[in-house]
Amino acid sequence: MTKYIFITGGVVSSLGKGIVAASLGRLFVSRGFKVSTQKFDPYINVDPGTMSPYQHGEVFVCDDGAETDLDLGHYERFLDKNLSRINNVTSGSVYQTVIEKERRGEYLGATVQMIPHITEEIKSRIRNAQAKDNPDILIVEIGGTVGDIEGLPFIEAIRQFKIEQGISNSMSLHVTLLPYLNTSGELKTKPTQHSVNVLRSYGIQPEMLVLRTQVPVDKNEKDKIALFCSVNKDCVIECKDMKSIYEVPLYLENQGICDRVCEILNIEKRKPDLSSWTELVERIHNPEKEINIAIAGKYTSLNDAYLSVVESLHHAGFKTNTKINIKWIASDDVKNQNQAGKLLENVHGVIVPGGFGQRGVEGKLEIVRYARENNIPYLGLCLGMQCAVIEFARNVAGLKDANSEEFDKDTEFKVVHLMENQKNIKNLGATMRIGAFPCKLNKLSKSYSVYKTEDISERHRHRYEFNNEYKDILAKKGLLIAGTSPDGELVEIIENPKNNWFVAAQFHPEFKSRPDNPHPLFLGFVEAAIDMSKSK
């Protein structure tokens, strides 16, 4: 029988509830339990696919093509499990389903209301996630902060769900902030008390609190919080800021979080096997060398916009005992080779990640050119591959002003273009080539040498494609088509064999990297960058 843990957040958003949820999941996985996770996002967008990365950070893509909240990335990485659209629920998708049902007359004349219709739909989403793989434990995280108007239907739905499941089959865990006042040198507990009061006013008494804090919380403070929030003393757990998010599971484990959850939910206690995770954290703390990697993008002022790219780099760093320093380059600022050269001084590898729209593209092309001409290891991701093709077409094949149709509809040389079947699409939401697609690797490629297999599957999210009309022209000039769709129709990876590492993929390998199992393309790239750092 599945047990449910509902995670809410208090005081402020961006507390790292997702990391707490993922860490708790990891601790149960390491005890041999089957765990699944679900994220509720109370905003009205049907999915985050059309939201600006400035608003929402990266859009994480699952195998089934779901465009989801970045917390699903944390869940996949911590639990080492692939998730799907069932695991991310937005208010928008709930309202959409309810309104469609209403239009079909399925409510048989009833007045359609927040309670029971919206709350029923939310509960049915929890049941769907449960039915998908019948986990021992389903962890459900409610986005936003308790007290937000748009989160109310979700809170009411979990209140009802808890009652329906019966005592000791579900619990509520509230993650909250203890602000630290520098001037008086104190941690303040009042916002937490208020936040728990708000949760209680909705009919939910949390069984456990996780306190986010900059500094350790002493026992007196914890006991005081327990008393005023009506939570058992040993269920007040501290979660201090850590150097690496991958330390969080061990930090929580040391406070007995899992055993407490087992007591609350009446689950047999088991000993965890955390040996490989502990070894991972050891590696994270003891790197033997460092390298500098530049990421040239247009959303560089918000690191979360490229979260999975950054995590994937670190994963490759863990494996090679290397600390990776990231240098953000705002591509709009790069106007010529001189500037590119200055920005790439002391840089051992360059990534151009995914992106949409024309802004910053010319700067990215300067960066790609400098990397190619100076043999700096290059990894292109989606738009980063399209830029590599455009740059090669212009500067090696001499196709003047070659471009992608996305950025210049009138160019003579559309080396990246819209495929026929994409041309009539009007809606922007959920209309891209998206989700996992198979790819066949060229045995002569670097990609093959790192994947060590010919058939791979990777996740996509884009509209435009390599234009096959230019395949032979560019190949003659030295571009290697390293991977294509199995029918050969779609170019999925290109390489420049002249360089030590110049590999660019139309897909997003960053969505499949795991902390203890880095993605081959990131590992190959980081190893090349390490070589570069030795020679530079």
Which are the catalytic amino acids? 382, 508, 510
User: What does the alpha-carbon distance between residue 408 and residue 420 come to, in Å, rounded to a whole number?
Assistant: 17
Near ligand GLN by CB under 6 A, which window of 65-73, 207-215, 380-388, 442-450? 380-388
Map the footprint of ligand GLN across residues 455-494, applying CB under 6 A: 461-464
Instruction: Check residue 67 for interaction with ligand GLN (CB under 6 A).
Output: no
**CB 494, CB 385: distance < 8 Å:** yes
Contact map string, positions 419 to 458, toward ligand GLN, x by CB under 6 A: ----------------------------------------
User: What does the alpha-carbon distance between residue 363 and residue 294 come to, in Å, rounded to a whole number?
Assistant: 13
Nearer to ligand GLN, 280 or 368 (CB): 368
Q: In the complex, what is the shortest distance from the CB of residue 298 to ligand GLN, in angstroms, rounded to a whole number?
A: 11
Q: Which of 129, 383, 474, 482 touches ligand GLN by CB under 6 A?
A: 383
Q: In the complex, what is the shortest distance from the CB of residue 446 to ligand GLN, in angstroms, rounded to a whole number?
A: 21
Q: Which of 157, 158, 47, 156 minimizes the C-alpha distance to 96? A: 47
CA dihedral angle for residue 471, residue 473, residue 478, residue 482, rounded to 10 degrees: 0
Nearer to ligand GLN, 207 or 311 (CB): 311
Q: Which of 121, 391, 406, 527 touches ligand GLN by CB under 6 A?
A: 406
User: What does the alpha-carbon distance between residue 154 and residue 264 come to, in Å, rounded to a whole number?
Assistant: 22
Q: Tell me the Cα Rg of the chain.
A: 25
Provide long-range contacts, Cβ within 8 A and 24+ apart, for 146-151.
146/8, 146/9, 146/10, 146/174, 146/195, 146/198, 146/199, 146/202, 147/195, 147/198, 148/42, 150/42, 150/43, 150/44, 150/91, 151/42
Neighbours of 440 (CB within 10 A): 16
Q: In the complex, what is the shortest distance from the CB of residue 477 to ligand GLN, in angstroms, rounded to a whole number?
A: 23
Q: In the complex, what is the shortest distance from the CB of residue 385 to ligand GLN, in angstroms, rounded to a whole number?
A: 8
Q: In the complex, what is the shortest distance from the CB of residue 531 to ligand GLN, in angstroms, rounded to a whole number?
A: 27
Nearer to ligand GLN, 296 or 383 (CB): 383
Count interface residues toward ligand GLN (CB under 6 A).
11
Q: Which of 434, 507, 461 minimizes the C-alpha distance to 65? A: 434
Nearer to ligand GLN, 81 or 461 (CB): 461
Instruction: Check residue 382 for interaction with ligand GLN (CB under 6 A).
Output: yes
Question: Which H or E run contains 479?
Answer: none
Map the footprint of ligand GLN across residues 298-357, applying CB under 6 A: 354-356
Instruction: Check residue 378 for interaction with ligand GLN (CB under 6 A).
Output: no
Nearer to ligand GLN, 13 or 358 (CB): 358
464-466, strands of its sheet edge to edge: 403-404, 414-418, 464-466
Q: Where are the alpha helices (DSSP H) in 440-519?
A: 446-451, 471-476
Q: In the complex, what is the shortest distance from the CB of residue 104 to ligand GLN, in angstroms, rounded to a whole number?
A: 34
Q: Cβ-closest residue to ligand GLN?
A: 354
Instruction: Indicate the SS3 state at residue 433.
Output: strand
Nearer to ligand GLN, 228 or 356 (CB): 356
Provide the token pair at 518.
């880095």
User: Which stretches of the chain bind ligand GLN, using CB under 6 A?
Assistant: 354-356, 382-383, 386, 406, 461-464
